[in-house]
Amino acid sequence: MKRSIILTLFAALFAISSFCDEALSNPFSFRTKAEMEQTVLLKSTDPIYYSGDLASGEPESVSIEVQDLDNPTYQEVLFYLTAPFEDGVFLWDYYASEYRNLPAGHTYLITETIKTDAETKTFSHTIKIVPEPLALLLFGMLGFLFIRKRAKALAAVLIAVTVFAAAGARAEGCVQSVTAGQFFPFERMVIINYVLDSDENDEFTVDFFCTTDEGATFYKLSEYGVLSGEGEDGTAQGNGAHTIYWTPGEAFDNIYSDSMRIKVAGEVVPPPPKTFMTIDLSDGSVSYSPEPPASWTDEYKTTKLALKRIEAGTFLMGSPEDFDMRGDTDLAQHEVTLTKPYYIGVFEVTQAQYELITGTNPSQTQGATRPLEGVNFNTITGANGFFQLLNAKTGLTFGLPTEAQWEMACRAGTETSLNNGTDLQTSDWDPNLAKLGRYTSDSNDNKPTQDYNYCHTIVGSYLPNAWGLYDMHGNVYELCLDWIDNSHLHDTDPTVDEVGTLTGIYATIRGGSWGTIGKACCSGSRSTQVKNLAASNRMSGRTGFRVFMQLD
C-alpha cells in the first residue's frame, strides 16, 4: 500500500422510516477485516502513534485548525503539538475539543498541517454539519499520523467526520430515522442511531438486522456479533434518540459491501394493566399495579384505599320473577350494558380511612378497620363531605356508583343470587351466604373475634367474589346514586338523571347488612334510605359506602 496522504470524509447519512414498526438506514460502506488491518486503528481516546523508522525526517509539529465559513470571526486551532514527542507518542482526545460544540448548519474549513525538519504539508477540506431536528448530533472525529520511511511525502493526517442526521418528515410508526455507518478506517464497529416514538414515554422491544443485498437477506446482528448500547438486551426505554453499537463477528470478516443497510424493528411494550388503584390517604398520591398485593394488610384498610378496575360489559341485572327470595322492590331481570370501565373499592370505606379524610368518625360501633357507618347520602356527597375532600386531595373524581355499576361489580360475572355462583336457599342461616358476608343470622359468629357481636365486622373477613371484591353481601348496606324507581330498566349505561334521582329524597342502598335477613343481601336485592337520614337512626348504623370512579 502506498503510504501517502489519506483523507477520508464520512458524508451525512439520511434515513426515513417507511414501515409501521421498522425502519431501514441508508446504504453505507462496510469493509472487510483485512482492509481494516491495513490501517492504523484508533478509538476515541486512543493515543495517535507515529513510528520514527517510517520517516526520513523528524516531525516538529502537528496542528488542526477549523474556520467557520458562515462566520468569518470564528477561527480556532483545535490541536497543536510540537516536538519532542515523548516516547514517540502524541495524543489528541477529540471528545475534549471544541469541534464537538460547533453550531450545526454551518460550513467549516478544516486545515491539517504537518511540519517536519524537511518539509511542511498542508491539507484542507470543507464539511457541513447538518442540522438535526431529532438531536442526533455530530458523532465525532479522529486523527492519526504515520510517516513513510525515506519518502518525500513525509506524513499524512486523517480526519474522519461522521455526521448523522435525520432528513425529511417523520414517518408514522414507533421506529423512525435510522442512520448507520462504520467506523472505518479506525475499526469495524458500526454505530446505529434510531428514534423511538409513541404517545407516551413507553418501553419498547427492539431488534437489529443488516442486509447487503437490498433486503433479500437479513442477518440478525445479535447472532453475528456483539451489540452494546441502548437496545442490546432487546429493550429500550423512552421516546427519542437512541444509539447502539454493533461489533461484527467472524462470519462478517470477509464481507465487503458498498450498500449495507441496517434495519431496526421495534414494538411498544403494552404497559402493565392498571388493574388495581391504590390511594395513599396521607398525601393523596395514587399508584397502580397489575396484581393485588401478596396480602391485604391493615394499611389497605386504614392509611391506603384500594380500588379494582371493572371492565365494560353486559350482565343480567335484577332478580328472576320466579326466585323465591325475590324482594318486593327488586328490578325485573333484564340485560344491562355498561360501555365504560370504572374503579370500585375492594373494601367498604373503613372508619380509619374516613377519619383520615374528614377528621371525624361518626360510626355508632367504632373500630378502625370496620366499615364506616352513621352517615347519610347528603353527608358524604355534599359540600365538605368525604368525596369533595378526597377529590381535592387526589385531583381525581370519586363518588358513589349507580345501582347498575354496583350490581355488575357485585355479581362478578354470575347470574345467581349470590356472587359465588350459588343461590340463597333460606333467609335464615344459609351456608353459602355465611361464607360471603355478615348478616343477621351469622352476626355473632366471632369472625374475627371482636369486642362486639351482632354488628358489622372488620372489612375483608369473608370470601371475596371472583373479581376480588369483599363484603358485597352483608356487613353494611352500601349507598348508590339511584332512587328507587321501577322505571329503572334502561339497558345501556343507566344513569341517575334518567330516573330523576338527583332531586329525589331517597337513595338506593345495596348488599344488605349485619342487621338484615339473607334475602336483603342478594346481588339483585334493593332497599332505600332517606338521603338526610339522622345519624341516630338505627338504619344509619347499618349503612356505609364504597368508593367509585368512572373511566372514559
Strand order in the sheet with 120-128: 75-82, 59-68, 107-116, 120-128
Alpha carbons 107 and 489: distance in angstroms, whole number = 75
Quick one: pLDDT band at residue 42, thresholds 50, 70, 90? very low
Q: Longest C-alpha distance within the chain, in Å?
A: 114
Residue with cell 350459588: 422
Q: Which of 67-81, 111-125, 499-513 shows the lowest per-residue confidence on average (mean pLDDT)? A: 111-125
Q: Is the pLDDT confidence value at 476 over 50?
A: yes
By the 8 A CB rule, do 39 and 185 touch?
yes
Q: Is the pLDDT confidence value at 448 over 70?
A: no
- 235: part of which helix (H) or strand (E)? strand 235-237
DSSP, res 476 = S
Residue with cell 342502598: 509
Closest C-alpha among 207, 281, 271 to residue 238: 271
Average of pLDDT values for 525-544?
90
Average of pLDDT values for 92-121?
63
Residue 536 CB neighbour total at 10 angstroms: 9
Q: Is the pLDDT confidence value at 81 over 90?
A: no
CATH 3.90.1580.10 residue ranges of the chain are: 276-550
Please give the backbone phi and psi of residue 433, each rounded to the nearest 5 degrees, phi first.
-65, -35
Reading phi first (left if > 0) and then psi (alpha if -120 to 50, else beta), residue 253 is in: alpha
Kindly indicate whether the domain formed by 276-550 is annotated with CATH number 3.30.70.380: no
pTM, to two decimals:
0.62
Cell of 179: 442512520
* 3-class SS string, 407-465: HHHHHCCCCCCCCCCCCCCCCCCCHHHHHHCCCHHHCCCCCCCCCCCCCCCCCCCCCCC
Quick one: pLDDT band at residue 116, thresholds 50, 70, 90? confident
Alpha carbons 40 and 186: distance in angstroms, whole number = 7
pLDDT value, residue 248: 94
Alpha carbons 241 and 264: distance in angstroms, whole number = 13
pLDDT value, residue 28: 86
Residue with cell 333460606: 426
Q: Is the pLDDT confidence value at 444 over 90?
A: no
Side chain identity at 224, as an amino acid letter? Answer: Y
Q: Is the pLDDT confidence value at 95 over 60?
A: no
pLDDT value, residue 282: 96
Alpha carbons 10 and 30: distance in angstroms, whole number = 12
